[in-house]
Amino acid sequence: RKYRRELQLRKKCHNELVRLKGNIRVIARVRPITKEDGEGPKAANVVTFDPDDDAIIHLLHKGKPVSFELDKVFSPGASQQDVFQEVQALITSCIDGFNVCIFAYGQTGAGKTYTMEGTLENPGINQRALQLLFSEVQEKAADWEYTITVSVTEIYNEVLRDLLGTEPQEKLEIRLCPDGSGRLYVPGLTEFRVQSVDDINKVFEFGHNNRTTEFTNMNEHSSRSHALLIVTVRGRDCSTGLRTTGKLNLVDLAGSERVGKSGAEGSRLREAQHINKSLSALGDVIAALRSRQGHVPFRNSKLTYLLQDSLNGDSKTLMVVQVSPVEKNSGETLYSLRFAERVRSVELGPGSRHT
């Protein structure tokens, strides 16, 4: 009977998620104007909201108004908790075996890291997600055994780095699981089992230190690399032995600014080309999914290949498009919001399972 109840619960949760528009949801978050934005006309606010519809955002670009409709728009007044509330149903669905991907997209300085990592006083989605997963699995502990593991990685110039590794690393490669499940894995990537909130903090601190030690200009480095927190939740029903595995990918993408167009040279140009390559590969994958093409080019970048599990038909994806509200960034904002609308019109289906 317990098994039947569990299945009913799952079905309910599944139906709830399916009700969400499309499988890729897109929300925008506009950051507040900060001191760094400076003063004068270039620091003027060019973003406004619709008082009757929290899915609409208006942008004034070169004096012309442009409007976009997304799934939800958060104004600068929104708290970390407000944003988290919007994504928590997705997060807990990984306990039921769904693969989930949440990524922050936008130009450098638009608030991606604030949304995902947050600050010590005001943590973002990453920490809140792990805390929520802990409390949810504890509630189910009478019937289910769960293990939660995390990996922390970054992709920089198309190279995947393990940020929880303690040994000098071999080059990490993404492989297909030999069990025929179609899942992907990365041999050698550290999976750290977290058993308490304290463990979470240790993992974040370790990963963070590992990320920063090698690069002298961390701001530049982090704006050009993708940071990924991969949480795997494995469950086993104590009475039936039924097993589930769900994966939650939390991704702070590289800055979407079009560096390649601003006369970059040498290694900067190479970096820019890599970033453009992986972000445009993401766009291409999404376009292929949208048109339900048989072939989806997941393997065109490390990012899309690694996220393949989370972008196919059975997965739940949410993109937070970060927006700077000031005039000098309106060109990049326009570009980001156009990308957001393009992503939003994707509905994942069974046809998207091919690689």
Interface with ligand ADP (CB under 6 A): 31-32, 34, 106, 108-114, 223, 322
**CB of 97 or CB of 207, closer to ligand ADP:** 207
Q: Which of 61, 66, 28, 69 is nearest to 44 (CA)?
A: 61
Q: CB 321 → ligand ADP: shortest distance, Å?
A: 11
Does residue 336 contact residue 253 with C-beta atoms inside 8 Å? no
Contact 30, 75 (CB under 8 A): yes
Backbone angles phi, psi at 85, to 5 degrees: -55, -35
Residue 328: CB minimum distance to ligand ADP, A: 14
Beta bridge partners of 98: none
Q: Are 282 and 306 in contact (CB under 8 A)?
A: no
Partnered with residue 61 across adjacent β-strands are 64
Joined together, the tokens standing for residue 155 give: 């992709």
- When the beta carbons of 252 and 309 are compared against ligand ADP, the nearer one is 252
Query: To the nearest whole angstrom, how small is the minimum distance from the Cβ of residue 57 to ligand ADP?
Result: 15
Question: Which of 110, 248 has the CB closer to ligand ADP?
Answer: 110
Please give the angle made by the CA atoms of 316, 17 and 281, to the nearest 5 degrees: 20
Q: Cβ of residue 37: shortest distance to ligand ADP, in angstroms?
A: 9
Minimum Å gap between C-beta 300 and ligand ADP is 24
Q: Which is nearer to ligand ADP, 79 or 355 (CB)?
A: 79
Comparing CB distances to ligand ADP, the nearer of 174 and 334 is 334
**Three-state secondary-structure class, residue 34:** coil
Closest residue to ligand ADP using C-beta atoms: 111
Q: Least distance in Å: CB of 32 to ligand ADP? A: 5
| C-beta closer to ligand ADP: residue 125 or 233 | 125
The CA-to-CA distance between both ends of the chain, in Å, stands at 39
